[in-house]
Amino acid sequence: MAITLQHLRQLKQQGQRFACITAYDASFSWAVAQAGIEVLLVGDSLGMVMQGQASTLPVTLEDMRYHTACVVRANAHSLIMSDLPFMSYGDERQAMESSAQLMRAGAHIVKLEGGAWLAPIISSLRRNGIPVCAHMGLTPQSVHVFGGYRVQGRGEAAAQQLLDEARALETAGAELLLLECVPQDLARTVTQTLNIPVIGIGAGPATDAQVLVMHDLLGIDRGLKPARFVKNFLTGQASIEAAFRAYAEAVRAGQFPGEEHSFS
Ligand code: KIV
């Protein structure tokens, strides 16, 4: 069965959690499908894990188009979400042209990073048949504005602002929200407030879904210290597909992430 946005909305209404993994090529995309993972993210994290860049900023639209096309050929099950890379959605026209390339490559939904200022862009994409996931909290394309990869939404004022902006993006037509590195209480409030499914990473256990970068989930860290929210699911498993299944089952059962993977 091919997963759709309608299906994800139903899961939220029924209180059932779902799983998302990044993948960037056909072989891993096939394994993601075999494991029954609901959402596959072609993330601009490919800049780091595939290209060895220090951040996601050097990733181009052509990189995203190429990897999206590779992934799509091997996966008829998951909803395929593709990242709009840095500087590819500065205004409505540019966002439309960039998203069209990813949708023509086979993406089902595009993801972009930011807050309330994206509302007109999201509305115009949706009017033109392009569903959008808004990525809030720690948005890696703004790492130099934040001065590093830091937890966002800490403190009452920042939390209220994030909640208000998330509401604004839902009203503008966002179909999904992805929350990265925010305190777990804030993620819970946002998840309970919004009608659209909320996917978390470093956002605690209360979101409707979880995402992990595939390499993190498989313990491939190139000697770097893994982030707090990462867990190696390959340990004790006989195959990569089994690791993907173990991750999805842990997410659906509410066993991952735990307190030790969350920020307070
Ligand atoms: O690019 C990516 O892989 C992402 C996830 C970290 C959420 O945006």
Ligand 1 atom having least distance to the Cα of 113: 8
pLDDT at 244: 98
Domain with residue 17: its CATH number is 3.20.20.60
Tokens of 145: 């504005």
What DSSP element (H or E) covers 175?
none
pLDDT at 59: 98
| Beta carbon of 22 within 6 Å of any ligand 1 atom | yes
The neighbouring-strand residues paired with 19 are 210
Cβ of 235: how many Cβ atoms within 10 Å? 10
pLDDT at 220: 97
Provide DSSP, 69-88.
Answer: HHHHTT-SSSEEEEEPPTTS
pLDDT tens digit string along 184-234? Answer: 999 999 999 999 999 999 999 999 999 999 999 999 999 999 999 999 999
What amino acid is encoded at 208 in this protein? D
Ligand 1 atom having least distance to the Cα of 135: 8
Q: Is 92 a catalytic residue?
A: no
> Span 145-174, mean pLDDT?
97
What DSSP element (H or E) covers 92?
helix 92-104
> Span 166-170, mean pLDDT?
98
Of 165, 180, 249, 259, which residue is the catalytic one?
Answer: 180
- 38, 42, 44, 49: CA torsion to nearest 10: 90
| Beta carbon of 213 within 6 Å of any ligand 1 atom | yes
Collapsing DSSP to helix, strand or coil, 199 comes out as strand
pLDDT at 154: 96
- Alpha-carbon gap, residue 171 to 241, rounded angstroms: 37
- Pick the residue whose CA is nearest to atom 3 on ligand 1: 43
| Beta carbon of 43 within 6 Å of any ligand 1 atom | yes
pLDDT tens digit string along 44-103? Answer: 999 999 999 999 999 999 999 999 999 999 999 999 999 999 999 999 999 999 999 999
Q: Total structural domains in the chain?
A: 1
pLDDT tens digit string along 232-263? Answer: 999 999 999 999 999 999 999 999 999 999 99
pLDDT tens digit string along 106-132? Answer: 999 999 999 999 999 999 999 999 999
pLDDT bucket at 135, cuts 50 / 70 / 90: very high
- Residues of the domain holding 219: 5-261
Taking the whole predicted model, whether its pTM rises above 0.85 is answered as yes
pLDDT at 255: 98
pLDDT tens digit string along 25-53? Answer: 999 999 999 999 999 999 999 999 999 99
pLDDT bucket at 140, cuts 50 / 70 / 90: very high
pLDDT at 62: 98
pLDDT at 126: 98
- Alpha-carbon gap, residue 193 to 205, rounded angstroms: 16
What amino acid is encoded at 177 in this protein? L
pLDDT at 233: 98
pLDDT at 240: 98
pLDDT at 53: 97
